[in-house]
Amino acid sequence: MKRLTISGFSDEISPDFDAQLEAVKEFGLTHIELRGADGVNVSDLTPDKLREVKLKLAESGIAVSSIGSPVGKSPIGADFAPQMEKLKRTLEIQKELGAPYVRIFSFYIPKDSDPADFREEVLDKLYAFTEEAKCWDSVLLHENEKGIYGDTAPRCLEILQRLAGPNLKAVFDFANFVEVGQETLPAYELLKPYIAYVHIKDAVWDTKQIVPAGRGDGHVREILTDLIGGGYRGFLSMEPHLVNFMGLSALEQDAKHRETALDGKSAWKLALDSLRALLAEIPGAREAAQV
C-alpha cells in the first residue's frame, strides 16, 4: 500500500451489518476488518450470506482490509482437520471479497504447561496453514493473542523466523502484549521486520484494562512514530474492545466484562478519535494517511 489507511472491526459497533456500514461511512472510513455480520462469524458465512455481504459492501463503497477469522484459535490438542477446513472456507471468502489478508492464531496452549513442549506441533500446523495459503496466493497474518503459543514476542519470533514469507506475516497488537505482561517496545524491536498490519488498541499495565490508543502502557505513540517514520504504509485496524459486544465471549478465553456507559458506536468513535489525535502528533502521518 502507498497510504496509511484506518480500518477496524466494525462488529464492535453493532452486530447488525447495515448499522456497521452506516457508522463506518459516517466516520469517513473506506475499509473494515470483517469478523462478523448479523451475528455470523465471517468464517461461517454461507454462500447466500456471503453474496449479501458482498453486495452491501459494494453498495456502501466499503472494502475489506482483512478477514478477521478465528482460524488457529483452538486448543493445540484438538482435531486439526476442522481447522484446516475452516481455513479453506475462509480463503474462499477472502478471494470473493477481495481482501488482501486473513488473520490467524497459533493455538491455545494448556494452562500451566510449558509452551516449549508444543513448539514443533504448533509450527507444523502453522506450516500446513501457510502451504494452503500458498495454493490460494493468499497472505496470512499471525496475531499475538492471550493464551496462544504466540502470545509473547519471543514465541512470535520463533514462528516468524521459521515460517514468515510471502504467505505469512505478522499483526502487531499492543494491548494483547500488555495483557500477557510483554513490554511492547522490545516486542516491536524483535518483530518489526515482519509487521504487515497493525491492530489499534491499548491497555493499562497494572489492571490490564483496555483503553483508547495512547491512554495505556502500550507505547502506541512511540511505536507508530517509528513504524510510520520507517516507511510503513498499510492498515491501522481499530479493535476498540471498550464495551461488551456480541461474540466477545467466543473471541477470548476468560473474556472480561467491560463496564462502560457507552454503546458500541460511541465507544468506536472514542477509539477512532483517539487514534486520529495520535496520528496528528506523529511527523509525516497526516501526509501519509488516507483518512
pLDDT tens across 122-154, in order?
Answer: 999 999 999 999 999 999 999 999 999 999 999
CA angle 166/154/191 to nearest 5° reads: 45
Q: What are phi and psi of 249, to 5 degrees?
A: -65, -25
DSSP H helical segments within the chain, as ranges? 17-26, 47-60, 81-97, 119-135, 153-163, 174-179, 184-191, 220-229, 248-251, 264-281, 285-288
pLDDT of residue 248: 43
Q: What is the mean pLDDT of residues 200-204?
A: 97
Query: Are the C-beta atoms of 130 and 140 separated by less than 8 Å?
Result: yes
Q: How far apart are CA 261 and CA 268, in angstroms?
A: 13
pLDDT of residue 258: 46
Q: What is the mean pLDDT of residues 196-219?
A: 96
Query: Are the C-beta atoms of 182 and 152 separated by less than 8 Å?
Result: yes
pLDDT of residue 288: 77
Split at pLDDT 50, 70, 90, the class of 191 is very high
Q: What are the domain boundaries of the chain?
A: 5-288
Is the pLDDT reported for residue 249 higher than 50? no
Q: How far apart are CA 100 and CA 95, in angstroms?
A: 8
Tens-place pLDDT, residues 66-123: 999 999 999 999 999 999 999 999 999 999 999 999 999 999 999 999 999 999 999 9
User: What is the pTM (predicted TM-score) of this model?
Assistant: 0.92
Tens-place pLDDT, residues 4-41: 999 999 999 999 999 999 999 999 999 999 999 999 99
Instruction: Specify the CATH class of 5-288 in words.
Output: alpha beta
Polymer length in residues for the chain: 291
pLDDT of residue 286: 80
pLDDT of residue 245: 39
Is the pLDDT reported for residue 166 higher than 50? yes
What's the mean per-residue pLDDT of the chain? 93
Cell numbers given for 235: 492498515
Is the pLDDT reported for residue 284 higher than 80? yes
Split at pLDDT 50, 70, 90, the class of 253 is low
Query: Are the C-beta atoms of 15 and 39 separated by less than 8 Å?
Result: yes
CA dihedral 129, 131, 137, 139 (to 10 degrees): 40
Nearest by Cα to 91 from 52, 128, 54, 140: 140
Nearest by Cα to 178 from 208, 154, 139, 147: 208
pLDDT of residue 275: 97
